[in-house]
Copies of this chain bind each other. A is one copy, B any other.
Amino acid sequence: MSSARKAVTLLSGGIDSTTAMAIARSEGFEIYSLSFRYGQRHAVELESSKKVAVSLGAKEHLLINLDLGKIGGSALTDDISVPKCRTEAEMGVGIPVTYVPARNTVFLSLALAWAETLKAADIFIGVNALDYSGYPDCRPEFIEAFEATANLAIKAAVEGEMKIAIRTPLIHMTKAQIIKTGIDLGVDYRLTHSCYDPTPDGSACGQCDSCLLRKKGFQEAGVPDPTKYTA
């Protein structure tokens, strides 16, 4: 029986969550990766998640179906156009329409449920507060508040068996630093997917915020971008 500590890692199959998972692995954790089919138009990311989970040696990869489309309120789940070709200045203003209401709260809640069942005290999430898309639930103050809530919510914490830590190793990194860190840890970014609005065959649009941040990250990291963009 393994004596490794367990970690639940939220895995979207993008650069950030993949790198966060590689960091968890480098710390010696036994990895339980968690992905969600939540009605996202870029459900192709779920294929990436599976490949990343295998590649990084997850002990188990769990996919939960969750119909956030019924709730709506986002360009990622509704019939609202994903913005294209925005400048960095435009991205820097406000919260974009790709925001999904309470997404990280929902995802962390389910990660928390699984963490308690597995007796995994560490939950990794690849949020970062630099080079991000302006989402409020990627900020350190949100993460700290969620962690405090988690430790009041679950039986294992209240009974003193474990204390949940929400681990955000990327929170103060630029996208370029994230990519360099991942490369050092052996991440194969060809397996990852970032695009919010892929073509039916899964190719990246090259123009949504997520593609633009990805391109810029590889450029600034001085690493060849393995992604095939349609534009």
Contacts and interface: CB of A to CB of B under 8 A. Distances in A.
Nearest to A158: B136
A70 B100 CA distance: 24
B159 A114 contact: no
What's the number of copies of this chain in the assembled complex? Answer: 2
Interface string A65-82: 111101111000000000
B71 A117 contact: yes
Most buried by B among A104, A105, A112, A114: A105
A102 B103 CA distance: 16
A228 B184 CA distance: 65
Contact of A153 (B62, B71, B113, B136): B136
Given A64-B70, A155-B136, A117 B101 contact: yes
A153 B113 CA distance: 19
A229 interface: no
A219 interface: no
A100 B156 CA distance: 12
Choose among A65, A102, A104, A154 the residue with the greatest number of B CB atoms under 10 Å from its CB: A102
A130 interface: no
Interface of A: 62, 64-68, 70-73, 94-95, 99-106, 108-110, 112-114, 116-117, 136-137, 139, 141-142, 145-146, 148-150, 152-155, 157-159
